[in-house]
């Protein structure tokens, strides 16, 4: 019986060692999995936030030295990502309004932009500017001068050139 007991204790100790090694490997694998999941989530959230900046849903600020700062909402969105996952961030971004006009020029004093001169396609390259300024027709320059407060600007005439 003593021999059987000693053999059983040796088997038990060997199994405890194997179990301990397996638990260590499982813990290490779980940490690696969690790290990989966090990395993937961070990459996905970064991509969504960059898209939100491009779409005008988030606005970057500037510090005293002129360096770009992240939007205060970015911190909240990253917290949502940790709590609710990437879908929570997508839902939150879908509900956000555009705060920065994208792709449009805003004039502060509501002055309309001057008309653009379009060159003639068949015109000689040296004369392409002429349709906009020909025969004293300098409406574009007059509009710009008026917007800049230079109403006393001399009129252009091709005869003077």
Q: pLDDT digit string (tens) for 128-158?
A: 555 444 445 566 667 777 777 766 655 555 5
Pair of tokens at residue 32? 């690696």
Tell me the pLDDT band of 28, cut-offs 50, 70 and 90.
very high
Long-range contacts of 73-81 (CB under 8 A, 24+ apart): 74/49, 77/45, 77/48, 77/49, 77/52, 78/45, 81/41, 81/45
What's the whole-model pTM score? 0.50
CA angle 56, 58, 64 (to 5 degrees): 115
Q: What is the pLDDT of residue 37?
A: 92
Q: What is the pLDDT of residue 56?
A: 86
Q: What is the pLDDT of residue 24?
A: 96
**Average pLDDT for residues 48-54, to the nearest whole number?**
91
Tell me the pLDDT band of 104, cut-offs 50, 70 and 90.
low
């Amino acid at each position: 019986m003593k021999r059987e007991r000693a053999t059983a204790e040796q088997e038990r100790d060997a199994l405890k060692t194997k179990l301990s090694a397996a638990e260590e490997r499982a813990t290490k694998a779980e940490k690696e999995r969690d790290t990989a999941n966090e990395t993937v989530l961070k990459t996905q959230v970064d991509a969504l936030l960059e898209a939100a900046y491009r779409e005008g849903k988030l606005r970057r600020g500037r510090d005293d030295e002129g360096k770009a700062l992240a939007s205060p909402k970015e911190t909240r969105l990253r917290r949502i990502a940790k709590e609710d996952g990437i879908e929570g961030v997508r839902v939150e971004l879908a509900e956000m309004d555009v705060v920065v006009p994208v792709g449009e020029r805003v004039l502060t004093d509501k002055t309309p932009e001057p008309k653009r001169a379009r060159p003639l396609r068949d015109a000689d390259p040296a004369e392409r500017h002429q349709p906009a300024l020909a025969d004293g027709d300098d409406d574009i320059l007059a509009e710009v001068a008026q917007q800049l407060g230079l109403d006393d600007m001399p009129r252009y005439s091709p005869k003077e050139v």
